[in-house]
Amino acid sequence: MEQTTLAQKIARILDNKKALDITVLHVAHLTVITDYMVIASGRSSLQVKSLADDVDDALAMEGIQLRSKEGNAEGRWIVLDYGTVLVHIFHPEDREFYHLERLWDDGQNRLPLDFDQE
pLDDT in tens, 40-69: 999 999 999 999 999 999 999 999 999 999
31 contacts: CB under 8 Å, gap ≥ 6: 104
The confidence score (pLDDT) of residue 114 equals 80
Residue 117 has pLDDT above 80, yes or no: no
The confidence score (pLDDT) of residue 115 equals 75
Domain count, the chain: 1
The confidence score (pLDDT) of residue 4 equals 93
113 found inside a domain: no
73 found inside a domain: yes
Mean pLDDT in residue range 29-46: 96
CA separation for the pair 30, 46 (Å, rounded): 32
118 found inside a domain: no
CATH of residue 60's domain is 3.30.460.10
**Can you give the residue range of the structural domain that contains 76?**
3-104
40 found inside a domain: yes
